[in-house]
């Protein structure tokens, strides 16, 4: 493995190639509103685990179009609620996993809701949520499922699930609804970026090597999957390029980042063959809130691993503190958007916050 992209000094200035659909805001506002109209009460059932310090609950909540989505809720035992909450999204191919996995966040004192991933969960962590939509021809995987139309695209459903997971978390008695953050790695990082734009009343976002950013560049500079799925699809459906790229723009993390005013923590790996580092910097440089960025020069898609987790715990302790005022604009509790939004053509403020490097 070697450096896979632009030199670091060029990466830090790179701003991306993705176009912004004219109806981007309306598309997502309508999508989320339609799914909220299909809501029903969140179901929570205790899970016997034998753990001495963490309680685990099996959660089912209404996702896209009211379709049921599973999650694990992990709570530190003996800690007085309400608790600050972290909503986590899984990487590509993974689901919510086993109830005994991923105990870091509850052990750190957070209420931890880990969302399952519709139609995935047989790659590296088990899942329990189906994706009932049928959307036409696709390359193996989910990246091209319904990709010729933004309304049938898989990631419209997945990202709506991610927003509704935050809605569900805020209904839980153990959770302080005013202190919620989102996080994820790779596909999970992409979900965290989207939710940060669609729920700007969150406290913070942590996105490790986020997938689905500056997709037009990603699909041409890496030969690795999952991005290779789009190339495989277009190699057969040669006349669908314009429609496919138009659809992908609705889920591109750069377009979401342009709408984010929250504190954000990113990691990027300069030897990442799966998520090219330039695509991560495109999102970082579009971000409108304060940022921390860890640059891992000698790592691939694993990025900083446990060092990223350690830094994320510190970051979230600060931003989920009950004594800290929210950093971003605060809409109503139903997620109404801020009145002022920058368009794709407006100049963006410089990225703030420290740029951390491995020692």
- 272 catalytic residue (yes or no): yes
Residue 359 has pLDDT above 60, yes or no: no
pLDDT-derived band at 276, boundaries 50, 70, 90: very high
Q: What digits encode the pLDDT tens for the residues 260-273?
A: 999 999 999 999 99
Q: With b meaning 16 or more CB within 10 Å and e meaning fewer, what string describes 70-102?
A: bbbbbbbeeeeeebbbbbbbbbbbbbbbebeeb
Contact at 8 Å (CB) between 175 and 239? no
pLDDT-derived band at 342, boundaries 50, 70, 90: very low
pLDDT-derived band at 187, boundaries 50, 70, 90: very high
Full-model pTM: 0.90
Q: What digits encode the pLDDT tens for the residues 344-354?
A: 333 333 333 33
Supply the pLDDT for residue 349.
33
> Taking the CA of residue 268 as centre, how many other CA atoms within 13 Å lie in the half-sphere pointing to its CB?
26
In 3D, which of 11, 16, 49, 67 has the Cα closest to residue 215? 16
Residue 292 has pLDDT above 60, yes or no: yes
Identified catalytic residue from 116, 131, 186, 278: 186
Residue 28 has pLDDT above 80, yes or no: yes
In 3D, which of 120, 153, 122, 117 has the Cα closest to residue 136? 153
Q: Which of 67-81, 112-126, 337-351 is modeled with the greatest confidence?
A: 67-81
Residue 282 has pLDDT above 80, yes or no: yes
- 186 catalytic residue (yes or no): yes
What average pLDDT does the chain have? Answer: 90
Identified catalytic residue from 116, 167, 272, 308: 272
- 294 catalytic residue (yes or no): no
* Residue 356 to residue 60: CA distance in whole angstroms: 38
CA 352 to chain centre: 21
Identified catalytic residue from 57, 112, 301, 319: 301
**Residue listed under structure tokens 């410089």:** 350
């Amino acid at each position: 493995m070697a450096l896979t992209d632009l030199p670091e000094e060029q990466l830090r200035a790179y701003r991306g190639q993705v176009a912004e659909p004219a109806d981007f805001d309306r598309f997502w506002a309508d999508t989320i509103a339609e799914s909220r109209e299909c809501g029903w009460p969140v179901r929570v059932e205790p899970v016997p685990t034998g753990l001495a310090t963490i309680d685990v609950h099996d959660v089912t909540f209404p996702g896209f179009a009211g379709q049921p989505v599973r999650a694990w809720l992990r709570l530190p035992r003996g800690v007085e609620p309400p608790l600050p909450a972290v909503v986590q999204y899984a990487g590509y191919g993974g689901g919510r996993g086993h109830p005994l996995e991923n105990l870091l966040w509850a052990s750190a004192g957070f209420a931890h809701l880990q969302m399952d991933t519709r139609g995935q969960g047989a790659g590296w962590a088990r899942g329990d949520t189906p994706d009932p939509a049928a959307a036409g021809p696709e390359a193996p995987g989910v990246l091209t499922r319904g990709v010729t139309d933004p309304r049938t695209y898989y990631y419209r459903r997945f990202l709506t699930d991610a927003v509704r997971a935050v809605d569900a978390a805020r209904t839980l008695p153990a959770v302080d609804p005013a202190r919620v953050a989102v996080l994820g790695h790779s596909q999970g990082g992409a979900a965290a970026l989207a939710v940060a734009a669609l729920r700007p009343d969150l406290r913070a976002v942590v996105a490790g090597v986020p997938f689905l950013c500056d997709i037009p560049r990603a699909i041409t500079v890496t030969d690795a999957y999952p991005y290779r799925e789009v190339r495989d699809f277009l190699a057969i459906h040669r006349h669908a390029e314009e429609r496919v790229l138009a659809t992908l723009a609705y889920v591109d993390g750069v377009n979401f980042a342009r709408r984010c005013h929250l504190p954000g923590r990113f990691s990027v790996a300069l030897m990442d063959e799966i998520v090219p580092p330039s695509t991560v910097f495109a999102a970082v440089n579009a971000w409108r809130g304060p940022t921390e960025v860890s640059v891992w020069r000698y790592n691939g898609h694993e990025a900083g691993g446990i060092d990223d987790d350690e830094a994320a715990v510190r970051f979230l302790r600060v931003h989920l503190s009950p004594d800290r005022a929210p950093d971003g604009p605060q809409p109503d509790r139903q997620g109404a958007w801020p009145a002022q939004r920058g368009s794709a053509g407006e100049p963006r403020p410089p990225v703030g916050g420290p740029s951390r490097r491995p020692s």
